[in-house]
Structure 1
Amino acid sequence: MTKELKHPYCKYVQSLPIDNLHKQYHDFRYGYRITNDNELFGRLLLEINQAGLSWDIILKKEDNFRKAFDNFEINKIAGYTNHKVEELLNNKGIIRNKLKVNAAVYNAQRIIELQNEHGSFYQWLCIHEQQDYTKEKWTKLFKSNFKFTGGEIVGEFLMSTGFLAGAHDENCAIHSLIKNTKYG
């Protein structure tokens, strides 16, 4: 049984039934701070795979992505071989795009480098968040560090993980809930 929150909601989910995947994502995950590096990486991977598609498609395939990409474990993905990449490209449960799959492997390798430099991917994000980066500055930073990260992908990744404002309408009950949450 899921907890139902009272209205008001963001306009795009107001008419959705409580058990709708997009509504569940909105209410319990979108805009909430993620501190775990593997989960941050997983969200980035999902945002990259959403490019050109609807978010509903990604939400429906999320469990398949999690299984196919070893529960988003950065260290495992960074070591993927050509054989594993081919296996992913033949997996009908995920988005089979060679550029996106190769970006996942490259981005995992780059995150390991950032972890070595800054202690964690999360800490690297926090350092830049403290500098009050605009979406444009974040996008430039991501494009210089990762593959397949344009403005929309970066903006959605940062909003969905609580690093950039704008995930919810200001009158949305979830916006107030998230705003009143403290992050460590």
Structure 2
Amino acid sequence: MSGYCDAAPGHPLHGPYHDTEYGFPQTDERVLFERLALEIFQAGLSWELILRRRPGINDAFDGFEVDRVAAYDEADIARLLADARIIRNRLKVVALIANARQIQALRASHGGFAAWLAAQPPQDLSQWVKLFRKTFRFTGPEVVNEFLMSLGILEGAHRPDCPVALHLAEMRRSATV
């Protein structure tokens, strides 16, 4: 991912995301759901477009509060599809609502989304994709890869010599001491 490490610094949208979010472990359910949603919205589009629309997407989806999104109905779908601040793709919107409901189910079966992720054995991307496709909607290889890299579960978010990669390595060392 050396291209992103070279291009992001100093960019008003990519810079902060690269330096403070991309590749950083997360356990907060809302953040995990938002990250998955943004990756789903990004499919076929540019990441910069998603970052530009992120505030509006967050507002339209009630800050990605899982229980609120899981309760959305046809009226909410119509509202979202009329909202120019988001990516108005019905398949993606419906997938996010279904995924919120699946995250609710993961609370009962695993103690939550983060616990479900943590319970998975180390595996390659193809195994992750199979698991995500069984569990969530609109989770093809690119969505799953970027989602897991964004959380530091799969490698590749940063070049080894990127200052952020060095910071993340130090964080991991400190956590194991």
Provide the TM-score with structure 2 as the length reference.
0.93
C-alpha separation between the residues in 2 aligned to 1:112 and 1:177?
Answer: 33
> What is the aligned partner in structure 2 of residue 3 from structure 1?
none
> What is the aligned partner in structure 2 of residue 66 from structure 1?
58
| Partners of 2:5 and 2:159 within 8 A in 1 | no
CA gap of 1:171–1:96, structure 2 versus 1, over 3 A, is same
C-alpha separation between the residues in 1 aligned to 2:45 and 2:59?
Answer: 20
Tell me how far 1:112 sits from its aligned partner. Answer: 0.5
| Partners of 2:9 and 2:18 within 8 A in 1 | no
Tell me how far 1:133 sits from its aligned partner. Answer: 1.2
> What is the aligned partner in structure 2 of residue 5 from structure 1?
none
C-alpha separation between the residues in 2 aligned to 1:68 and 1:75?
Answer: 14
SS in 1 for 2:137: coil
Correspondence 1:50 to 2:25: no
C-alpha separation between the residues in 1 aligned to 2:69 and 2:113?
Answer: 15
Tell me how far 1:19 sits from its aligned partner. Answer: 4.5
Runs of 4+ in 1 over 4 A off after TM superposition: none
Q: Aligned ranges for residues 33-182 of structure 1 at < 5 Å?
A: 33-128=25-120, 131-182=121-172
CA gap of 1:98–1:180, structure 2 versus 1, over 3 A, is same
Q: Aligned ranges for residues 13-24 of structure 1 at < 5 Å?
A: 13-15=5-7, 18-24=10-16
Unaligned runs of 5+ in 2: none
| Partners of 1:13 and 1:22 within 8 A in 2 | no
> What is the aligned partner in structure 2 of residue 6 from structure 1?
none
| Per-residue Cα deviation, 1:11-66 (whole angstroms, up to 9, x for no partner) | 43435562421122111110001110111001000000000000000000000011
Instruction: Give the number of equivalent residue pairs.
Output: 174
Unaligned runs of 5+ in 1: 1-8
SS in 2 for 1:149: coil
As a proportion of its length, which structure holds more helix? 2
- Same amino acid, percent of matched pairs: 41
